[in-house]
Amino acid sequence: MSAGLLGCMTTPAQGNRIPDGALYACDNGKFGKGWPGADRWYQWLTDTVQRYGPDRCLWAVAPDVPFDAEGTLAESLPWLAKIRQLGIPAAFAAQDGCENGLIPWDEFDVLFLAGSTEWKIGPTAQRIAEEAHDRGLTVHMGRVNSRQRLRIAEVYGCESVDGTYLAFGPDQNLPNVLGWLSEMHHTPSLFGAPTP
C-alpha cells in the first residue's frame, strides 16, 4: 500500500491503521457485521478523514441497505452531501433494481457496484457503469475476489475494486493479486486494449 500498488479499504469495525502514503476508501460496514449506527459511523468517518487527510481519500460510501435499491436510496440520500462536506467524494451503493429510477445521479461522485453477484456482473450493472462514466463519475466494484471478477470489473471500466481475498492468507494471496494486476496491464482482454 505504501508503494502505491494497492489502496486501503477501511470500515468502522476494522480499527486498522492506514499505512503512510497509502490511498484509502471508507466503506460503511453495512454488508456483514460492522455497522455501528449512523451517528457513530459518521463520527468514525469524520475522524478518519481528519487523521489521514481528505487528499488521500478516494471516496466514502454512504449508508445503504444491501440488496435493496429503494431502501438504499432512502438511507443514502441524507448522507451524500454530508460526505462531500468532509472534502471527499461520496459513493452511492448501486443495488439490484436501482436502474428503475433509483439512482440520484447528481448527488454522488462514485458509483459503487454492490448488489447481488448475479446483478453486479450482469448486463444491467454494465449499462449503469457506462452511464456513470458518461456522466463523468468514477465506478467501483465490491466483492472482487478472483481473477475472473477483476477482469469483469476491467471490462466495466471500474477504476477501483475491493474484496476480502487478501484478508485470508495474505502472504499467499498477495502475489496472486499483484500477478493479476500485472497481467491486466500487459495483456489485452477480449473487450479492449490493456491499460497503460
Least confident of 76-80, 170-174, 180-184: 180-184
Examine residue 193 and state whether it is found in any structural domain, yes or no.
no
Examine residue 177 and state whether it is found in any structural domain, yes or no.
yes
Examine residue 141 and state whether it is found in any structural domain, yes or no.
yes
Q: What is the pTM of this model?
A: 0.90
Domain that holds residue 85: 8-186
Range list of H helices, 65-187: 69-85, 117-120, 123-134, 147-155, 170-186
Examine residue 99 and state whether it is found in any structural domain, yes or no.
yes
Examine residue 67 and state whether it is found in any structural domain, yes or no.
yes
Examine residue 101 and state whether it is found in any structural domain, yes or no.
yes
CATH classification at residue 70: 3.20.20
Asked if 167 and 147 count as a contact pair (C-beta separation under 8 A), the reply is no
Examine residue 1 and state whether it is found in any structural domain, yes or no.
no
Taking the C-alpha atoms of residue 181 and residue 167, their distance in angstroms, rounded to an integer, is: 17
Asked if 156 and 139 count as a contact pair (C-beta separation under 8 A), the reply is yes
Residue 8 predicted with pLDDT over 60: yes
Q: What is the CA radius of gyration of the chain?
A: 16
Examine residue 2 and state whether it is found in any structural domain, yes or no.
no
Least confident of 84-93, 99-108, 145-154, 183-192: 183-192
Number of structural domains the chain divides into? 1
Residue 191 predicted with pLDDT over 70: no
